[in-house]
């Protein structure tokens, strides 16, 4: 066919073209085609993308990584290290010469196997995990382990002990009631979860299969600084470490099971990490769902079904970053410095700000505080957000404010918060 630019009464027009498409801005162009078998030219008007329309319309233009970044004090999902995010960004489209994104990989292919194996090796190095412990990368959040732990470690009539120092420990205790005979040997609920009991005063069950604690209560800001020992020599200590996982060194050998959701300190939401002593595997109750059975999960190296591949990849990048910082000893030093700065600001405010938690067990990760004038709390949160400090509102069950200052929160973020707090007090005291 030959194309000529002309208009004739016999032109056939495509009149129902859309006025706007979702990504590329179209502009009308017109050409006239002369058919081989007809002397009459046929004029066709169509919508095409102009050569200059290279910008995707419904998405913001690429910005410098520093532009518009806020200090995110959320309890989880939480802030991630900027260098980790930039690394992931650079590998998003094609991962290291594989020709595909991590999100597209088969979880059984050699590329992803190298990712999950390195993530496990780096986590073992960080926490110095003994060889007689298995590491599992699972789904379902730490909440799923509230059921998985009793299902795997005891039978329906077995006794287990729970120390409840906050909302998450309480949820774990209530879930265990479906699968065994949990005993609440201590609860801080009557005092609004502001302390941890003296271990020597705990009345443990002599036949308990395990003793369960939540190592750091995200909502109430209470953290174990050391750990109780089960009274039964055949029992094990089990800990939910979701909100202080990899924030400091931990002697893994003191525990039978450690579990944690990744979305606080080591990755995005969607990954649950379980570290379990191998001799505890293989005793699941008959009713245990296949995806909760540690034996099946361990035998398949966390690959019984499709795991949260991209989340595991992100955790691996975070583990690399923590090792590059010098390991958890160095990470703990940074976390102590940030927490000390914030708690000192609260203590030096002469009551304008208050933290209800006993000083000896205040969390390095989650800092709850209130204002002397509670009617100012909404204004505090609003003004902080204008200064690009977000997610400072306390949990709905306790109110007030909460600053979660996990590993990835830089010192500059805490310094800016403290400066704002002092300025806010000067204006409203």
**Pairing relationship of beta strands 133-138 and 272-277 according to DSSP bridges:** antiparallel
Is residue 183 part of the annotated active site? The answer reads no
For the CA atoms of the chain, what is the radius of gyration? Answer: 28
Contact 297, 280 (CB under 8 A): no
Given 95, 122, 161, 168, the catalytic residue = 168
Given 264, 293, 338, 393, the catalytic residue = 264
- In 300-400, which ranges are continuous DSSP H helix? 309-324, 328-347, 377-386
Given 122, 161, 170, 240, the catalytic residue = 240
List, as own/partner pairs, every contact residues 115-119 make where C-beta atoms lie below 8 angstroms and the sequence separation is at least 24, other chains included. 115/309, 115/312, 115/313, 115/316, 116/301, 116/302, 116/303, 116/307, 116/312, 116/316, 118/316, 119/312, 119/313, 119/315, 119/316, 119/319
- DSSP calls for 161-219: EEEE-SHHHHHHHHHHTTTSEEEEEEE-GGGTS-----GGG----TT-SEEEEESEETT
Q: Which uninterrupted H or E stretch holds 260? A: strand 257-261
Q: How far apart are CA 365 and CA 215, in angstroms?
A: 11
Q: How far apart are CA 212 and CA 356, in angstroms?
A: 24
Is residue 264 part of the annotated active site? The answer reads yes
Q: How far apart are CA 404 and CA 394, in angstroms?
A: 10
**Pairing relationship of beta strands 366-371 and 401-404 according to DSSP bridges:** antiparallel
Of 180, 235, 238, the closest CA to residue 205 belongs to 235
Please list the active-site residues: 168, 240, 264
């Amino acid at each position: 066919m030959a194309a000529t630019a002309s208009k004739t009464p016999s032109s056939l027009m495509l009149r129902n073209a859309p006025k706007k498409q979702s990504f590329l801005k179209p502009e009308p162009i017109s050409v006239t085609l002369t058919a081989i078998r007809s002397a009459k030219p046929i004029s066709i008007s169509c919508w095409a993308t102009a050569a200059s329309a290279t910008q995707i319309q419904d998405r913001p233009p690429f910005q410098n990584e520093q532009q518009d970044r806020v200090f995110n004090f959320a309890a989880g999902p939480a802030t991630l290290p900027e260098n980790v995010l930039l690394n992931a960004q650079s590998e998003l489209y094609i991962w290291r010469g594989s020709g595909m994104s991590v999100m597209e990989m088969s979880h059984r292919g050699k590329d992803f196997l190298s990712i999950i194996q390195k993530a496990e090796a780096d986590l073992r190095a960080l926490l110095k995990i003994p060889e007689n412990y298995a590491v599992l990368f699972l789904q379902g959040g730490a909440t799923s382990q509230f059921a998985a732990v009793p299902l795997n470690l005891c039978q329906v009539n077995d006794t287990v002990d729970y120390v409840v120092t906050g909302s998450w420990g309480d949820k774990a205790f209530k879930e265990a009631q479906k699968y065994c005979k949990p005993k609440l040997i201590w609860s801080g609920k009557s005092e609004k979860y502001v302390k941890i009991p003296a271990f020597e005063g705990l009345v443990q069950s002599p036949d308990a299969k395990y003793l369960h604690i939540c190592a750091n209560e995200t909502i109430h800001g209470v953290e174990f600084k050391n750990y109780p020992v089960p009274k039964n020599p055949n029992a094990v200590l089990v800990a939910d470490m979701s909100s202080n996982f990899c924030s400091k060194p931990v002697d893994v050998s003191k525990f039978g099971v450690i579990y944690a959701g990744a979305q606080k300190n080591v990755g995005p939401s969607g990954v649950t990490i379980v570290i379990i002593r191998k001799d505890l595997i293989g005793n699941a109750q008959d009713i245990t769902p296949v995806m909760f059975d540690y034996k099946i999960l361990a035998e398949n190296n966390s690959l019984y079904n499709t795991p949260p591949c991209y989340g595991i990849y992100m955790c691996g990048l975070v583990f690399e970053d923590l090792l590059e910082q010098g390991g958890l000893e160095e990470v703990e030093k940074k976390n102590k410095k940030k927490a000390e700065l914030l708690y000192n600001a609260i203590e030096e405010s002469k009551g304008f700000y208050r933290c209800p938690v006993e000083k000896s067990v205040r969390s390095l990760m989650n800092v709850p505080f209130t204002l002397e004038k509670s009617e100012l709390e909404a204004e505090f949160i609003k003004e902080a957000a204008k200064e690009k400090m977000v997610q400072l509102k306390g949990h709905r069950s306790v109110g007030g404010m909460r600053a979660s200052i996990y590993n990835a929160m830089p010192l500059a973020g805490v310094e800016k918060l403290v400066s704002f707090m002092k300025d806010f007090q000067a204006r409203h005291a």
